[in-house]
Amino acid sequence: MKPIVAPSLLAANFGNLQADIDMLNQSECDWIHIDIMDGVFVPNISFGFPVLKFVAQLSNKPLDVHLMVVQPEKFINEVKALGAYCMNVHMEACPHLHRVVQQIKDAGMKAGVTLNPSTPVMMLKDIIRDVDIVMLMSVNPGFGGQKFIEHSVEKVRELRDLIDQTDSSALIEVDGGVNCETGKRLVEAGADVLVAGSSVFKAPCPQVEIAALKNL
């Protein structure tokens, strides 16, 4: 199975988002990954809903929305209004994760739960059957262009085992420092979805890089 490839708009040219979205629309990418930051859960701020409204209008690919914010449940209606395909919330930001997952699904979106690099896979044990996607952060969230944390490959293997043992149908997504080299090892370990920011947008030809990730 070819991986689902989700380029992260965080690494796009914010001075001309339309050009980069047009490029993604014409590429082999499957989803567009959208990083929302609040300067509280993570030490950075990216873009908010007024900008994303136009991104959603321009994109013909499903939007994979990653909320790096405290209390992400406050924004379920806004993410739904974008027409998002899935909404990823951080386990570390949700004391009542089970409720939030149900609310996202009730809103008609796929529910994703994201784990920071320091959060163990075993924390998913009692939620794994309820989620559509588990996203493992392979960098500390907040910034693009960081170095891939090697331990993430082992975490993908552990998560694949947990999913197989529990008959969960969750997809495994990995975000941070993904390029063709790390991506190949992640796919071999059992990853289904690769998020890639810098490796796509800093490539001489982003569409060629997307095709290469797709064919790992």
Catalytic residue among 20, 30, 38, 175: 175
**Residue nearest ligand DX5 (C-beta atom):** 197
| Minimum CB distance to ligand DX5 smaller for 106 or for 210 | 210
In this structure, are residues 190 and 172 in contact, taking their beta carbons and an 8 Å threshold?
yes
Phi, psi of 178 (to 5 degrees): -90, 125
| Minimum CB distance to Zn ion smaller for 13 or for 165 | 13
Torsional class of 190: left (φ above 0), alpha (ψ -120 to 50), beta (otherwise): left
In this structure, are residues 160 and 190 in contact, taking their beta carbons and an 8 Å threshold?
yes
Out of 20, 38, 73, 175, point to the residue binding Zn ion (CB under 5 A).
175
Question: Applying CB under 6 A, does 175 fall inside the site for ligand DX5?
Answer: yes
Out of 41, 66, 67, 127, point to the residue binding Zn ion (CB under 5 A).
66
Q: How far is the CB of 188 from ligand DX5 (least distance, A)?
A: 19
Residue 194 and residue 5: Cα distance in Å, rounded? Answer: 5
Q: How far is the CB of 60 from ligand DX5 (least distance, A)?
A: 20
Catalytic, 175? Answer: yes
Q: Which residues contact residue 199 at a Cβ distance below 8 angstroms, ignoring those fewer than 6 apart?
A: 178, 179, 180, 209, 213
Give the residue numbers annotated as catalytic, written as ranges: 35, 175
Q: Which residues bind ligand DX5 (CB under 6 A)?
A: 8, 10-11, 33, 35, 66, 139, 141-146, 175-178, 195-199
